Amino acid sequence: MAYDRFARPIHYLRISLTDHCNLRCIYCMPENMTFRPSAELLQDEEIFRLTRLFAKLGFDKIRLTGGEPTVRANVVEIVRQIASTPGIRSVTMTTNGILLKRLARPLAEAGLQRVNISLDTLNPIKFKRLTRWGDVEDVWEGILAAEEAGLTPIKINAVVVRGYNEEDVVDLARLSLNHPWQIRFIEMMPFGGATDLQIGQMVTSEEVRKRIEAALGTLEPLLDGQLDGEARLYRLPNAAGDLGFISSVSAPFCAACTRARLTADGVLRMCLLREYEINLLKPLRQGASDEDLRQLILNAIWNKPWGHGLAEGEIARNRTMSQIGG
Ligand code: SAM
Ligand code: SF4
């Protein structure tokens, strides 16, 4: 296992399969977003080589993300290869769900274990406004397909944006009454690209929780109020599922962070909200040995920043969320 200089074990890698996306969520990227040509992204074999290296360093948990991971060519084969890498115990994916109706079963058969599906509102008009052109029905069908394929427990991610969907959190929370799903409310974070909106229209977890309690009853804290990963969990009275609150801005969980991120263009990013990055693609294409790459990765892990500086007004502006991999 690799440790950083604060003695945190780092063993969870989020791999972004592409910066491309079939939606344009307003909090994630500008409408006129330009994407990298595929040749500048990690190729399949490069992803597999790096995955093997990370696995040998003790990484056992992989989440595939993006951009939108399901638009990556060959995504099913990529999942199959990663899932069969010795040492990798868990392969999951964060997706907007648009393509899951078709892909959920092949992905599950290839070894994908679970999915987090992003859904910020159940209202078709508001969904279109938030995603710029998405159809909420596609996501809904994707969620049902994922459940049927056994990609469970299903987690739904909702970013809450003032003026767009802060009232919709009640309908989303209500889903947990009849479905064994975890509905997670995420505080919007600032990056490059859409920063004014991200700062000015963020809604705190506390406000969301109060809104849900006022409409649906008192929330019972789970796990004695301890964090489950990045989320604090609650349950509505007699609910089949849970609610999760991810308070990255108002209550950071940096002390318990075990993550590193590999961007689609082959850069190792040790904190979502810090600009510190190490390029792995360049040395890899210049013929670096496994040992060279291992040293680069270990050095990056050792220097993982302690946490983000949002409270001090520091914003990492060098990439949008989709260019990092959420
Ligand atoms: N396209 C996939 C999706 O939307 O689930 C995966 C990539 S997306 C960047 C990963 C997650 O980041 C999504 O749940 C998305 O809602 C969230 N996200 C995007 N921009 C964000 C922001 N500014 N603050 C907080 N979460 C954000
Ligand atoms: Fe695409 Fe996901 Fe970003 Fe939305 S949040 S624009 S679906 S990458």
DSSP state of 161: B
Average pLDDT for runs of 10 along the chain of length 326: 97 98 95 92 98 98 98 98 98 98 98 98 98 97 98 98 98 98 96 83 97 98 92 97 96 92 98 94 98 98 93 84 88
Tell me the C-alpha distance between 67 and 15, whole Å: 11
CATH 3.40.640.10 at 2-324, yes or no:
no
Q: Which ligand is nearest to the CA of 117?
A: 1
Looking at ligand 2, which residue's alpha carbon is closest to its atom 4? 25
Tell me what pLDDT residue 86 has: 98
Tell me what pLDDT residue 191 has: 85
Choose one of 184, 322, 323, 324 to mutate for the ligand 2 pocket test, by most ligand atoms within 8 angstroms of C-beta: 322
Looking at ligand 1, which residue's alpha carbon is closest to its atom 10? 326
Cα 76 to middle of ligand 1, angstroms? 21
Tell me the C-alpha distance between 248 and 308, whole Å: 9
Tell me what pLDDT residue 128 has: 98
Tell me the C-alpha distance between 85 and 3, whole Å: 21
Please tell me the pTM assigned to this model: 0.97
Looking at residue 11, its amino acid is: H
User: What are the boundaries of each domain within the chain?
Assistant: 2-324
SS3 assignment, position 153? coil
Looking at residue 213, its amino acid is: E
Cα 115 to middle of ligand 2, angstroms? 15
Tell me what pLDDT residue 10 has: 98
Tell me what pLDDT residue 111 has: 98
Cα(first)–Cα(last) distance of the chain, in Å? 23
CA atoms within 13 A on the CB side of 29: 24
Q: Which ligand is nearest to the CA of 203?
A: 1
pLDDT digits (tens, 9 = 90+) for 63-81: 999 999 999 999 999 999 9
Cα 21 to middle of ligand 1, angstroms? 11
Which residues form the pocket of ligand 1, taking CB atoms under 6 Å from any ligand atom?
21, 27-28, 65-66, 68, 94-96, 118, 157, 159, 186, 188-189, 191, 198, 321-322, 326
